[in-house]
Amino acid sequence: MQQIYLDNSATTGLCREAKEAMCEAMECFGNPSSLHSLGAHAARLLRDARASVGEALGERFLKDGQLIFTSCGTEANALALLGTAHAKERRTARTILTTDSEHPSVENNLRLLEREGFSVVRVSTRGGVLDMDTVRAHCNADLFMVSMMLVNNETGARYPVEEVFAAAKAANPSCVCHCDAVQGFLKVPMHIRTMGADLVTVSAHKIHGPKGVGALYVSERMLRERRLSPFLCGGGQEFGLRSGTENTVGIAGFAAAAKAGAATARTAMPHMAHLAAELVAGLAGNEIRVNRPPVAAPHIVNITLPHIKSETMLHFLSGKGISVSAGSACSSHAAGPSTVLLAFGLTPAEAASSIRISFCPENTEGDVKALLAALGEGVSSLVRTKH
Ligand code: PLP
C-alpha cells in the first residue's frame, strides 16, 4: 500500500543530505574536546555545523556561545527558561509573559518558575490571534521575560513575536525575549536579527534532520550581560552553557538538513501553502470545519470532524496508508482534550474530534486528493458520537 505521510509537525523523514553527512561524521569519531588530530577533526565538524545552522537562522558569523547544541528542542527551551531565571545576574522584575497555547516544554517549565515565585501571564490566542491589548498592558518595568512560540504546533497560527518583543523591550530594555521557533524554522520567513529575540529554540527532526538534536541561539547581549546559566553542569562543553560530549553525528545531520532546507525554503514555503489551500478548498461544502488562524504557517491545517472521534478517523486513515495526527505527538499520551484547541476556542467535544494535517515540501497534490477522498469516505461511513 502506498504510504502518504502528513504528520510532519510530529517529525519529518531524514533528508538525503542529512543521511550522507551523518554517515561521514560516523567515521570521524574523535571527541571535539580532545587535543589530538582526531579531536581537531571533530571540532572542525562542530564549528562548520554551527556556521550552517547559524546561516539558516540568518546569522552566519556567530560569536563563541551564540549557538548552543542541545539534545532536543525541549532541552533548548528548558535552558532558555530555567537558565535565564536562575542566572547569577539577578533582576528584581518577576513577570513572565507567554501565551495560553505554548508547547509543554515551555508551559511545564513556566509552572516550575511559578512555584519559585515568578508571576506568569498567559495571553489569550483565541481563534489563533494573540491578544495584543493584554500584551501591551503587561509591558512595563516588571517584565522579566517573554517566551512566545513563532508558530503553534497544533493550529499553525503564526504569532507576531517581532511586535511583542519590540513592545517588551521598549517598556523594559533588560527584559529577555525567548522564541520557541521549532515549528516555524524554515517553514515561515524568519530572521534572527529582525525578530529581536535574545534566545531562539530550534530542533533538527522538524526540518528533516535527525531526532535528538536541538539548538539554542543566544544573543550577544545575553552573553555580555551574563544572563544565561547552564543547568547541565560538567566538563564545560558548548562554551560552558551545556556540558556533555557533543552528539557530533546528530549535529552534522542537523547542519546538513538546515543548509538543504534553507536553500529550498523559497520554493518549499509556497508549495506547502498551495497544498494547504487545495486541502481547505477541497473541504468546502462538507461537514468538516477548518480551524484556520488568520495568519498561519503554510504547513499545518487543523480540522474538526462532524461527531467523529479524532482517534477513530486517525485509525481509518492509517488503514488507508495515510498518517495524520490527533493533536500534537507529545500530547498523544495526555488525558483529555488538547489545551491548545480549547485555547483556540473549541469546545472539549470539538477538540476531541479534531485532527492535524501537516505537510512537508515532498508532499504532492496527489497526496491531498487521496486525503480528501479518504476523509469523505470516513465521514460518511464512521459511526458518529453525540457531542
Ligand atoms: N516546541 C514546539 C513548538 C514543538 O512542536 C516541539 C516538538 O513537537 C518542541 C518544542 C520540542 O522539540 P523536541 O521534540 O526536539 O524536543
Q: Return the C-alpha cell found at 297.
A: 504557517
Q: What is the pTM of this model?
A: 0.96
CA distance 85 to 77: 12
Query: Does residue 52 register a pLDDT over 70?
Result: yes
Q: Is residue 153 within 6 Å of ligand 1 at its C-beta? A: yes
Q: Is residue 363 within 6 Å of ligand 1 at its C-beta? A: no
Catalytic residue among 175, 233, 330, 360: 330
Tell me the mean pLDDT in the region 31-37.
96
Res 334: pLDDT: 64
Distance in Å, CA 36 to ligand 1 centroid: 36
Please report, rounded to a whole number, the percentage of residues in the chain having pLDDT higher than 90: 91
Kindly report, residue by residue over 186-201, the tens digit of the pLDDT: 999 999 989 999 999 9
Res 224: pLDDT: 95
pLDDT averaged over the chain?
Answer: 95
Contacts by 200-204, CB closer than 8 A, 24 or more apart: 200/57, 201/73, 201/76, 201/77, 201/80, 202/53, 202/57, 202/73, 202/76, 203/72, 203/73, 203/76, 204/18, 204/250, 204/253, 204/254, 204/257, 204/258
Res 281: pLDDT: 97
Distance in Å, CA 181 to ligand 1 centroid: 9
Which atom of ligand 1 sits closest to the CA of residue 77?
10
Q: Return the C-alpha cell found at 304.
A: 474538526
Res 103: pLDDT: 98
Distance in Å, CA 203 to ligand 1 centroid: 7
Kindly report, residue by residue over 199-208, the tens digit of the pLDDT: 999 999 999 9
CA distance 371 to 278: 11
Query: Does residue 330 register a pLDDT over 90?
Result: no
Res 39: pLDDT: 97
Neighbour-count burial of 21, counting CB atoms closer than 10 A to its CB (0-12 exposed, 13-18 middle, 19+ buried) = buried
Q: Is residue 210 within 6 Å of ligand 1 at its C-beta? A: no
Q: Return the C-alpha cell found at 354.
A: 479534531
Res 361: pLDDT: 97
Which atom of ligand 1 sits closest to the CA of residue 204?
15
Report the nearest-CA residue for atom 8 of ligand 1: 10
- The DSSP secondary-structure symbol of 99 reads E
CA distance 330 to 44: 34
CA distance 166 to 161: 8
Q: Is residue 74 within 6 Å of ligand 1 at its C-beta? A: yes
Kindly report, residue by residue over 229-253, the tens digit of the pLDDT: 999 999 999 999 999 999 999 999 9
Res 386: pLDDT: 58
Do residues 214 and 74 touch, judged by C-beta distance below 8 A?
Answer: yes
Tell me the mean pLDDT in the region 19-44.
96
Distance in Å, CA 40 to ligand 1 centroid: 32
Res 312: pLDDT: 96
Sign of the CA dihedral 136, 141, 143, 149? positive
Query: Does residue 76 register a pLDDT over 90?
Result: yes
Confidence of residue 61 (pLDDT cuts 50, 70, 90): confident
Given ligand 1 and candidates 12, 75, 105, 340, which is best to mutate, with the most ligand atoms within 8 Å of its CB? 105
Distance in Å, CA 210 to ligand 1 centroid: 13
Distance in Å, CA 78 to ligand 1 centroid: 11
330 is catalytic: yes
CA distance 127 to 157: 9
Q: Is residue 151 within 6 Å of ligand 1 at its C-beta? A: no
Res 328: pLDDT: 55
What single string gives the DSSP state of each residue in 357-376?
EE--TT--HHHHHHHHHHHH
Kindly report, residue by residue over 3-31, the tens digit of the pLDDT: 999 999 999 999 999 999 999 999 999 99
Q: Return the C-alpha cell found at 143.
A: 517584565
Q: Is residue 72 within 6 Å of ligand 1 at its C-beta? A: yes
Kindly report, residue by residue over 265-282, the tens digit of the pLDDT: 999 999 999 999 999 999
Which atom of ligand 1 sits closest to the CA of residue 328?
8
Query: Does residue 85 register a pLDDT over 80?
Result: yes
Q: Is residue 103 within 6 Å of ligand 1 at its C-beta? A: yes
Q: Is residue 105 within 6 Å of ligand 1 at its C-beta? A: yes
Distance in Å, CA 103 to ligand 1 centroid: 7
Report the nearest-CA residue for atom 12 of ligand 1: 73
Res 325: pLDDT: 96
Which atom of ligand 1 sits closest to the CA of residue 213?
15
Report the nearest-CA residue for atom 13 of ligand 1: 73
Query: Does residue 148 register a pLDDT over 60?
Result: yes
Res 1: pLDDT: 84
Res 333: pLDDT: 59
Query: CA dist 300 to 94, 154, 264, Å?
Result: 34, 7, 19
